[in-house]
Amino acid sequence: MNRRNFLYPFSFSAAAAILVGCEKESDKNTKFDKKSNETQKMVQEPQKNVINEKFEPFTQELKIPKEIDFEHIAKAKFNAQKSSAALYKEKKTDVLTFQGDLPNPTIRIKNGDDFELDFTNSLEKQTIIHWHGLLVPETMDGHPKDAIATNMTKEYRYRVNQRAGTFWYHTHPHGRTGEEIYYGLAGLYIIEDEDEKRLNLPSGEFELPLIIQDRRFDKEGNLIYKEAQQDNIGILGNVIMVNSTPHPYKNVKNTKYRLRILNGSSARTYKLAFEGIEEFMLIGTDGGLLEEPIVVKDILVAVAERIDIIVDFKDKKVGDSITLKTLGFKEASIFVPNTAYPGFDSKIDIMKFKVTELSAQNQLQIPKKLSTIAKMKASDASKSRVITMEIIEGGVWTLNKKPYDMHRVDERVKLGSTEIWEIKNSVHMAHPFHIHGVHFQVLDRTSKINFPTDKGWKDTVLVMPNETVRIIVKFTIPGLFLHHCHILEHEDHSMMANFLVE
């Protein structure tokens, strides 16, 4: 493949060629896309892990994204562009960026402040930015219908009006969201407010943004996206990047750290735990802080979900190292993904924390009361509706058995109303379900898996195979918005729908 033309090697129609009856397929009868014999051989015979060829794991220091802080600037500029970034030591990789390098900057802004950003599209095809988890007007949300053409600029102008939390941004063109995020077009968006500031949570050097993404590389260290028809199930990679750094390390002091974690992968659900620390605190979810900390040993984070956690290294001494890892989540799918890469159930080390200094801040206490969440009750809802997740004839991923149509209104919702949405997953694969323009609460779910994140405000929820999850939502912003599976290849395929608030 010509690496200078690495973007868009697959058409949407090719991506839609998932097998009929894929729930029954096995890796023995899976047919590969019609590509070169060399590529097919590469898929069928797993590559050597690039990490082993290029460098030893945990030898690259974690990159910390630079910040765009709206306390100090009035307006920012983004330009979606092809760039080269040093993902591996002394190796430039073709990527996509907003400001010329990876990781993309973290946006930081206070509740009540005005956000202004000029976004220019320098890619070969139209695109748009979605502010994931932000409660903004329809014209600012980043619906694919609003995508801008090459060399065009869109002005984003809105006032931030929501509680503090960890959000993110990414491009959202119809049929190409997965590929653009895969090559780099995503970053964190942090909202602060006075209520959270008074809690005196770890900050500055003790607050770390972590965007976790699994990726594939060829033997030269170039990114690879789709290779085989199995990849329509969802892209899984063998190299886990954190802030665009493959399997990094971070030097820390023996004190408490606040980790703002985003699962920015294409399809992999992480079951996160620490080797060397038995317990940690969950303090926040998609929509901000919980009411009180929850002590956990591990936690599930689906694609697009965020968790806010406190990890305490106080009992460690200089020279100790702690490994953040995923324990694997075999319940995520019975489908056989591309066998050249670790499956959903794989245990993988993600990054290491190396204790290099002692700290005088060990006395910092995490408050027992973090925030107040007004609990919504089923009786608050004026209407219930059912959203099904299914594969229809032709092997097409859908919601309510309808392939996505950008201009069709699938659900009509009354402005100001509160509804219960029952999300029914009839597929033997877990799907993270995301709604634009709202935050919601989880009422209940039929599976017995524990999700501590269900206790907070959400914009994305993982729906297990053959499970029904009931959520309650209040619709406060008029306009046309999306709801979709956030496995990127599924939403690009057709597992997406429009709802109109009027």
Q: Are strands 496-501 and 411-413 parallel, antiparallel or unpaired?
A: parallel
Quote the pLDDT of residue 134: 98
- What contacts 199, CB < 8 A, 6 or more positions away? 289, 367, 370
pLDDT higher than threshold 60 for residue 3 = no
pLDDT higher than threshold 50 for residue 267 = yes
pLDDT higher than threshold 90 for residue 275 = yes
The C-alpha atoms of residue 415 and residue 436 are separated, in whole angstroms, by 15
Quote the pLDDT of residue 219: 82
Domain topology for 67-193:
Immunoglobulin-like (2.60.40)
pLDDT higher than threshold 80 for residue 6 = no
- Residue range 350-372, pLDDT digits in tens: 999 999 999 877 678 999 999 99
DSSP 90-156: TEEEEEEESSSSSSPPEEEEETTPEEEEEEEE-SSS-B-EEEET----HHHH--GGG-B-TT-EEEE
Contact 445, 421 (CB under 8 A): no
Quote the pLDDT of residue 21: 36
List the structure tokens of 128.
């748009």
Averaged pLDDT score across all residues of the chain: 89
Quote the pLDDT of residue 337: 76
Summarize the confidence of residues 199-220 as an average pLDDT: 94
Quote the pLDDT of residue 54: 56
pLDDT higher than threshold 60 for residue 30 = no
Q: Residue 204 in 3-state DSSP?
A: helix
Greatest CA separation for the chain: 62
Name which of 46-60, 115-129, 225-239, 396-410 the model is least confident about: 46-60
Quote the pLDDT of residue 230: 84
List b or e across 309-319, with b for residues whose CB sees 16 or more CB atoms inside 10 angstroms: bbbbbeebeee
The C-alpha atoms of residue 497 and residue 404 are separated, in whole angstroms, by 6
Other Cβ atoms within 10 Å of 400 Cβ, number: 15
The C-alpha atoms of residue 81 and residue 90 are separated, in whole angstroms, by 22
- What contacts 162, CB < 8 A, 6 or more positions away? 111, 134, 135, 191, 288, 439
Name which of 40-49, 86-95, 169-178 the model is least confident about: 40-49
Contact 133, 459 (CB under 8 A): yes
Quote the pLDDT of residue 37: 34
* DSSP collapsed to 3 states, 348-411: EEEEEEEEEECCCCCCCCCCCCCCCCCCCCHHHCCEEEEEEEEEECCCEEEECCECCCCCCCCE
Summarize the confidence of residues 235-262 as an average pLDDT: 96
> Where does the chain hold its CATH 2.60.40.420 domain(s)?
67-193, 204-357, 378-501
Quote the pLDDT of residue 53: 52
pLDDT higher than threshold 70 for residue 143 = yes
As a CATH number, domain 204-357 is 2.60.40.420
Contact 254, 96 (CB under 8 A): no
Domain covering 378-501 assigned CATH 2.60.40.420 in the classification: yes
Q: Report which of residues 5 and 149 the model is more confident about.
A: 149
pLDDT higher than threshold 80 for residue 22 = no
- Residue range 67-120, pLDDT digits in tens: 999 999 999 999 999 999 999 877 899 999 999 999 999 999 999 999 999 999
Is the pTM higher than 0.85? Answer: yes
pLDDT higher than threshold 90 for residue 11 = no
User: Would residue 334 be called left, alpha or beta, if left means φ above 0 and alpha means ψ between -120 and 50 degrees?
Assistant: alpha
The C-alpha atoms of residue 445 and residue 399 are separated, in whole angstroms, by 19
List the structure tokens of 439.
């935050």
Contact 287, 456 (CB under 8 A): yes
The C-alpha atoms of residue 92 and residue 175 are separated, in whole angstroms, by 27
- Residue range 307-344, pLDDT digits in tens: 999 999 999 999 999 999 999 999 988 887 788 899 99
